[in-house]
């Protein structure tokens, strides 16, 4: 992972994202193989330089928000007084100026999640590891979190986060890895990932019948009257000529670069992605 | 790294200590022995009242007249005082004989206003005693005073005063008694056991909060599990110290106000001296707490629900009782194989060694014992953390897989 970058780990549920992060941080030991965190194979020796937001959020409900943040800082070597001061500042910046003296149990789930996130960065770590940081947050707080991640990167921290929401990864990541069934399927930048697939054509005919599909590339998929398919290697001209000659006409046509979602589908399979999206919606 | 370990354990200990002490529940916990004392006093007083009313109604009866009756009364007066109050014979009633003394004696056992447990009747040269099934000692006492009365009569001695009245001098013993030292040892053992029972048992549920609210992952990511365990043990140890300081202060005030405390303490003076003994008792309590607490913390950490934790409480209490029983047996037979076993077995060692301090003047054995116990505290915490990592966090390959890999030469 390049220092000072935002690195995403993408993968469907059960791909091994959380296990990977836990192993990296030394919470669990690998069954086989090795791992290195900031140049050390003893991850906990780097504990003071790392911040971590686990997927399963948890705080002591009886603690006040500022104490909870200071506590998480103290676990990673920050003294309590500085931790409390920074907690007040961070909460004010996050739009929660009243929160410092409020017990965690009395905060909303989203606010408590934000408090935990602030606790993971209060000691100004060099590496911030966030496991599914956007899950459970409303769109407003998701936006705040994106800003916070970018601000931490600008401060010089390296951010590593896992997600199965492509949009966040696409907007934030400098580099990413896609994993499925415990194996890495891709590693590189978002642009490099998108360049792996050809341009996508979105075509809407003026009329449609059973003969249309035979004229389109084999990968073409129809959805609500619109056909999507990769642009043929020899370009669109010949295909468009055949469509016009056959009388299907062109009601709409656009060419788009493939999205990260498309790359993800291509790497892990449409069925897996459908299951993942159904799970996320549920 | 050691500095980090200590600092991180201290953060966890601080959190646990404050989270426990700064709650109304702690006040209830602190005053819990008071409730026990109140119940014990009230219950004890009630039981004593019942016992005393029963004892007050009990009688031993002598059916006799004339000079023999007077001598019986005199002998009873002289001998009764030699018995401590707890085992003193019941009040003696003297009755004049009627036409049929045997029927008169038998009828006494049917009386409704008193409980006669033994009755003596008949001519002095052919005395008979009737008694109830449980009044063997009463009958013996009647036989004793009857014999004394007859001896006095045969010797022509006065019935109402003793033949000799030696001068009695009160002597202040300046050295401890063997039984006093053993009592001191057993008391220390019992107090340490009681405190350990009260406090170490609580460690079984200490990780339940973190597992329930998912904080365990934050801790496990930031801090070595061993530091989490040490921090948690020290957090509750702080609570234990607050508890002991409160009740210890009250007990010390009570001792200072106890009349004749100097003489009592002299009789109980431990072999290694009172100061070192008290210091060692505190150290051994700490060792016992950390040893048993680490075991219970490790066992409790495996439980996945409060129901499981409650189920674990029973075997844990049995384990503690077992260690207490072993150490108690050792305290009662110092220098035996049993005593050495209890002193060496890590989980009974703190109790047994505390008792040993009362009767054995050697100090070096305590240094060795504390080192041995510390080693086992470390081993227990390390094993508990490893078990937690393996059993709860599912970290690393299973033992079977490791064995398989080893057998395959991997």
Which of B2, B4, B12, B215 should one mutate to test binding to chain A, selecting the residue with the greatest count of A CBs within 10 A?
B215
What is the per-residue pLDDT for A49? 93
Residue A280 has pLDDT above 60, yes or no: no
Q: Are A58 and B215 in contact (CB under 8 A)?
A: yes
d(CA B11, CA B228): 9
What is the per-residue pLDDT for A124? 94
- Of B107 and A279, the structure prediction assigns the larger pLDDT to B107
Identify the weakest region by mean pLDDT among A24-28, B3-7, B136-140, B397-401: B397-401
To the nearest whole percent, how much of chain A has pLDDT over 70? 95
Q: Do A28 and B393 touch (CB under 8 A)?
A: yes
Map residue A77 onto helix, strand or coil: coil
* A84 part of contact set with chain B, CB < 8 Å: no
For residue B231, the chain A residue with the least C-alpha distance is: A75
**H or E segment and range at residue A170:** helix A166-172
Q: Which residues pair with B128 in a beta bridge?
A: B121
Going by C-beta distance under 8 Å and a sequence separation of 6 or more, which residues neighbour residue A176?
A7, A8, A9, A10, A169, A186, A187, A188, A189, A190, A193
Q: Are B323 and B351 in contact (CB under 8 A)?
A: yes
Domain extents for chain B?
Answer: 2-32+175-407, 57-155
d(CA B208, CA B392): 12
d(CA A62, CA B229): 21
What is the per-residue pLDDT for A250? 92
For residue B399, the chain A residue with the least C-alpha distance is: A31
Give B8's contacts in chain A (Cβ within 8 Å).
47, 75
For residue A72, the chain B residue with the least C-alpha distance is: B218
For residue B216, the chain A residue with the least C-alpha distance is: A58
Burial class (CB within 10 angstroms; exposed 0-12, middle 13-18, buried 19+) of B162 = exposed
For residue B18, the chain A residue with the least C-alpha distance is: A63
* A60 part of contact set with chain B, CB < 8 Å: yes
Residue A156 has pLDDT above 70, yes or no: yes
Domain extents for chain A?
Answer: 6-193, 200-257
Give B397's contacts in chain A (Cβ within 8 Å).
31-32
Q: Do B223 and A47 touch (CB under 8 A)?
A: yes
What is the per-residue pLDDT for A7? 94
pLDDT digits (tens, 9 = 90+) for B349-394: 999 998 888 888 888 999 999 999 999 999 999 998 888 888 777 7
Q: B57-155, what's its fold?
A: D-Maltodextrin-Binding Protein; domain 2 (3.40.190)
Q: How does residue B95 score in pLDDT terms, banded at 50, 70 and 90?
A: very high
d(CA A169, CA B203): 43
Identify the weakest region by mean pLDDT among A13-17, B257-261, B322-326: B257-261
pLDDT digits (tens, 9 = 90+) for A22-53: 999 988 888 888 888 888 888 888 889 999 99
Q: What is the ipTM score, two decimals? A: 0.79
What is the per-residue pLDDT for B233? 92
Give A117's contacts in chain B (Cβ within 8 Å).
none
Map residue A247 onto helix, strand or coil: coil
Give B396's contacts in chain A (Cβ within 8 Å).
28-31
d(CA A220, CA A203): 10
How confident is the model over A262-280, as a mean pLDDT? 71
Mean pLDDT, chain B, integer: 86
Q: Do B396 and A30 touch (CB under 8 A)?
A: yes
Residue B410 has pLDDT above 60, yes or no: no
pLDDT digits (tens, 9 = 90+) for A178-187: 888 778 888 9
Pairing mode, strands A183-188 and A200-204: unpaired
Q: Do A27 and B217 touch (CB under 8 A)?
A: yes
Q: Are B121 and B105 in contact (CB under 8 A)?
A: yes
Give A50's contacts in chain B (Cβ within 8 Å).
221
What is the per-residue pLDDT for A279? 60
Q: Are B14 and B235 in contact (CB under 8 A)?
A: yes
d(CA B70, CA B212): 81
What Rg do the C-alpha atoms of chain A give, in angstroms? 23
Cβ neighbour number for residue B99 with a 10 Å cutoff: 6
* A254 part of contact set with chain B, CB < 8 Å: no
pLDDT digits (tens, 9 = 90+) for B131-163: 999 999 999 999 999 999 999 888 888 777 777
Q: Which candidate from A28, A47, A63 shows the least CB-CB separation from B395?
A: A28
Q: How does residue A278 score in pLDDT terms, banded at 50, 70 and 90?
A: low
Q: Which candidate from B213, B221, B224 shows the least CB-CB separation from A25?
A: B221
Going by C-beta distance under 8 Å and a sequence separation of 6 or more, which residues neighbour residue A142?
A134, A168
* A114 part of contact set with chain B, CB < 8 Å: no
Q: Angle at CA A178, nearest 5°, toward A172 and A183?
A: 155
What Rg do the C-alpha atoms of chain B give, in angstroms? 32
Q: Which class is domain A6-193?
A: alpha beta
The alpha carbon of residue A76 is apart from the nearest alpha carbon of chain B, in Å, by 6
Give A25's contacts in chain B (Cβ within 8 Å).
221
Mean pLDDT, chain A, integer: 88
Q: Are A185 and A178 in contact (CB under 8 A)?
A: yes
Q: Are A216 and A227 in contact (CB under 8 A)?
A: yes
What is the per-residue pLDDT for B398? 65
Give B26's contacts in chain A (Cβ within 8 Å).
none
How confident is the model over B193-203, as a mean pLDDT? 82
Q: Are B81 and B106 in contact (CB under 8 A)?
A: no
The alpha carbon of residue B261 is apart from the nearest alpha carbon of chain A, in Å, by 47
Burial class (CB within 10 angstroms; exposed 0-12, middle 13-18, buried 19+) of B254 = exposed
What is the per-residue pLDDT for A277? 62
Q: Do B218 and A75 touch (CB under 8 A)?
A: yes
Q: What is the three-state SS of chain B?
A: CHHHHHHHHHHHHHHHHHHHHCCHHHHHHHHHHHHHHHHHHHHHHHHHHHHHHHHHHEEEEEECCHHHHHHHHHHHHHHHCCCCHHHCCCEEEEECCCCCHHHHHHHHCCCCCCEEEEEEECCHHHCEEEECCCCHHHHHHHHHHHHHHHHHHHHCCCCCCCCCCCCCCCCCCCCCCHHHHHHHHHHHHHHHHHHHHHHHHHHHHCCHHHHHCCHHHHHHHHCCHHHHHHHHHHHHHHHHHHHHHHHHHHHHHHHHHCCCHHHHHHHHCCCCCHHHHHHHHHHHHHHHHHHHHHHHHHHHHHCCCHHHHHHHHHHHHHHHHHHHHHHHHHHHCCCCHHHHHHHHCCCCHHHHHHHHHHHCCCCHHHHHHHHHHHHHHHHHHHHHHHHHHHHCCCCCCCHHHHHHHHHCCC
Map residue A35 onto helix, strand or coil: coil
Q: Which candidate from A60, A61, A76 shows the least CB-CB separation from B222?
A: A76
Identify the weakest region by mean pLDDT among A27-31, A210-214, B209-213, B319-323: B209-213
How confident is the model over B22-40, as a mean pLDDT? 85
Going by C-beta distance under 8 Å and a sequence separation of 6 or more, which residues neighbour residue A126?
A3, A38, A49, A50, A156, A157, A158
Residue B99 has pLDDT above 70, yes or no: yes
Interface of A with B in 165-194 (CB under 8 A): none
Half-sphere exposure of B399 (CA within 13 A, CB side): 5
Q: Which candidate from A61, A71, A77 shows the least CB-CB separation from B213?
A: A61
pLDDT digits (tens, 9 = 90+) for B281-306: 999 999 999 998 888 888 888 887 87
For chain B, the residues whose C-beta falls within 8 A of a C-beta of chain A are 1, 4, 7-8, 11-12, 15, 19, 209-210, 213-224, 389, 393-397, 401
The alpha carbon of residue B27 is apart from the nearest alpha carbon of chain A, in Å, by 18
d(CA B295, CA B345): 14
């Amino acid at each position: 992972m390049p220092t000072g970058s935002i690195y995403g780990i993408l993968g469907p549920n059960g791909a091994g994202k959380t296990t990977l992060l836990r192993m990296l941080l030394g919470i669990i030991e690998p069954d086989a193989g090795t791992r290195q965190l900031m140049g050390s194979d003893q991850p906990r020796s780097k504990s003071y330089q790392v911040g971590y937001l686990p997927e399963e959020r948890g705080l002591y409900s009886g603690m006040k928000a500022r104490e909870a943040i200071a506590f998480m800082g103290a676990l990673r070597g920050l003294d309590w007084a500085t931790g409390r001061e920074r907690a007040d500042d961070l909460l004010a910046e996050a739009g929660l100026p009243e929160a410092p003296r409020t017990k965690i149990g009395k905060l909303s789930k989203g606010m408590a999640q934000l408090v935990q996130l602030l606790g993971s960065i209060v000691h100004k770590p060099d590496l911030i590891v966030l496991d599914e940081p956007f899950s459970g947050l409303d769109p407003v707080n998701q936006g705040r979190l994106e800003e916070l991640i970018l601000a931490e990167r600008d401060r010089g921290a390296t951010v590593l986060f896992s997600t199965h929401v492509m949009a966040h990864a696409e907007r934030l990541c400098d580099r990413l890895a896609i994993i499925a069934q415990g194996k890495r399927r891709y590693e590189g930048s978002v642009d490099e990932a998108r360049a792996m697939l050809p341009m996508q054509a979105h075509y809407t005919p003026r009329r449609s019948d059973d003969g249309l599909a035979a004229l389109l590339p084999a990968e073409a998929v129809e959805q609500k009257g619109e056909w999507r398919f990769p642009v043929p290697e020899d370009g669109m001209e010949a295909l468009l000529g055949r469509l016009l000659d056959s009388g299907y006409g062109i009601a709409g046509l656009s060419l788009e670069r493939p999205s990260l979602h498309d790359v993800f589908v291509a790497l892990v399979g449409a069925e897996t992605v459908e299951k993942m999206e159904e799970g996320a919606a549920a | 790294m050691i500095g980090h370990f200590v600092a991180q354990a201290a953060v966890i200990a601080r959190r646990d200590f404050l989270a426990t002490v700064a709650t109304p529940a702690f006040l209830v916990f602190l005053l819990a022995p008071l409730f026990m004392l109140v119940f014990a006093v009230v219950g004890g007083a009630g039981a004593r009242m019942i016992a005393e009313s029963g004892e007050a109604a009990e009688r031993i009866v002598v059916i006799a007249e004339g000079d023999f009756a007077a001598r019986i009364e005199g002998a009873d007066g002289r001998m009764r005082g030699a018995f401590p109050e707890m085992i003193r014979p019941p009040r003696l009633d003297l009755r004049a004989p009627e036409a049929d003394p045997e029927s008169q004696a038998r009828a006494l056992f049917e009386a409704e206003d008193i409980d006669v447990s033994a009755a003596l009747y008949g001519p002095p040269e052919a005395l008979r005693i009737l008694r109830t099934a449980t009044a063997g000692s009463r009958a013996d006492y009647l036989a004793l005073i009857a014999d004394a009365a007859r001896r006095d009569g045969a010797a022509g001695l006065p019935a109402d005063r003793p033949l000799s009245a030696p001068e009695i001098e009160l002597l202040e013993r300046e050295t401890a008694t063997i039984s006093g030292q053993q009592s001191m040892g057993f008391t220390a053992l019992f107090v340490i056991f009681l405190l350990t029972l009260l406090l170490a048992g609580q460690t079984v549920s200490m990780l339940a909060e973190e597992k329930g609210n998912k904080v365990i992952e934050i801790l496990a990511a930031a801090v070595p599990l061993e530091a989490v365990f040490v921090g948690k043990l020290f957090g509750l140890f702080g609570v234990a110290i607050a508890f002991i300081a409160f009740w210890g202060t009250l007990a010390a005030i009570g001792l200072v106000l106890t009349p004749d405390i100097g003489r009592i303490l002299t009789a109980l003076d431990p072999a290694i001296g009172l100061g070192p003994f008290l210091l060692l008792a505190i150290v051994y309590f700490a060792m016992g707490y950390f040893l048993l607490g680490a075991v219970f913390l490790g066992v409790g950490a495996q439980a996945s629900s409060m129901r499981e934790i409650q189920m674990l409480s029973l075997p844990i209490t049995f384990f503690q009782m077992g260690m207490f029983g072993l150490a108690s047996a050792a305290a009662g037979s110092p220098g035996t194989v049993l005593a050495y076993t209890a002193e060496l077995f890590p989980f009974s060692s703190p109790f047994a060694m505390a008792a040993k301090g009362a009767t054995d003047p050697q100090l070096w054995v305590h240094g060795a014992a504390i080192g041995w116990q510390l080693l086992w505290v470390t081993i227990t915490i390390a094993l508990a953390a490893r078990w937690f990592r393996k059993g709860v966090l599912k970290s690393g390959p299973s033992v079977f897989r490791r064995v398989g890999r080893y057998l395959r030469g991997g």
